[in-house]
Amino acid sequence: MPMTWSRRCLIGLLAVTVALSVGCKFGARKEQKEEAPKETGQPGFLGAVKAIQEAGEAAQKMAERKPVDPVSFRDLLTVLPEAPAGWQKEGDPDARTVQLGDWKYSYAEQSFRAGEGKGHVVIKVTDGAYIPILYPAFAFAAGYSEESLDYYRKGITWKGHKGVEEFWTKEKRGHISMMVAERFIVEVQGHHIDNARVLHDWLNRIDTDKMVQWARAAQ
């Protein structure tokens, strides 16, 4: 049965609509503005004093908060990134809820590997659920920086969140830890990578906006 002109137009319009909706759905995340972490930690004695002060403030703030039920580890899996071009997932993710005395926390973790030994990255997202003991040490680490010939460690901020970045030049490995919405701990660990920009790229692929929404909903 020959296709009429009107049916061809209808099919064409449907195709355009589907293409546009798919582009919006999958293109929005790719077009998100990438942001590089900024160093905010201070070296030396002043940095140590600042770090101790921030750790004390964090301990006081967390003491005033009550722990909450953590986000399901199944939901945490949804904020992990997909593998970009040249990378692939390595094995199945590790995700679970852990009981710590009267408290619970959850986490989700996935490993990725580039071809021909060009890199290995592990992404881990933990919902600390406002357990007090998890945060003061992190606040201290985020307020201090140091550097040597083949290693640096610095307190950073990224999209308003505090964190720590480390890199070992000779060993070609690095690690970033971020505190998102004063609740979630995001970790990016890399081996056999040339520089920390690889870690920055992976950090920008994690859906931290959803974590912020979860934290606001619990307040």
pLDDT at 53: 57
pLDDT at 63: 52
CB of 125 within 8 A of CB of 210?
no
The 10 Å Cβ neighbour count of residue 84 is 12
- Whole-prediction pTM: 0.75
Domain boundaries, the chain: 1-31, 38-218
Give every CB contact of residue 157 below 8 A, 6+ residues apart in sequence.
Answer: 37, 38, 40, 163
pLDDT in tens, 116-170: 778 999 999 999 998 877 766 676 677 778 899 999 999 888 998 988 999 999 9
116 or 111: which carries more pLDDT confidence? 111
48 residue type, one letter: A
Q: What percent of the chain has pLDDT over 70?
A: 69
pLDDT in tens, 21-52: 333 333 334 444 678 777 665 454 454 455 45
Give every CB contact of residue 55 below 8 A, 6+ residues apart in sequence.
Answer: 136, 137, 139, 140, 143
CA dihedral sign of residues 87, 91, 97, 101: negative
Mean pLDDT computed over 181-207: 96
Q: Looking at domain 38-218, does it have CATH number 3.40.1000?
A: yes
pLDDT at 14: 28
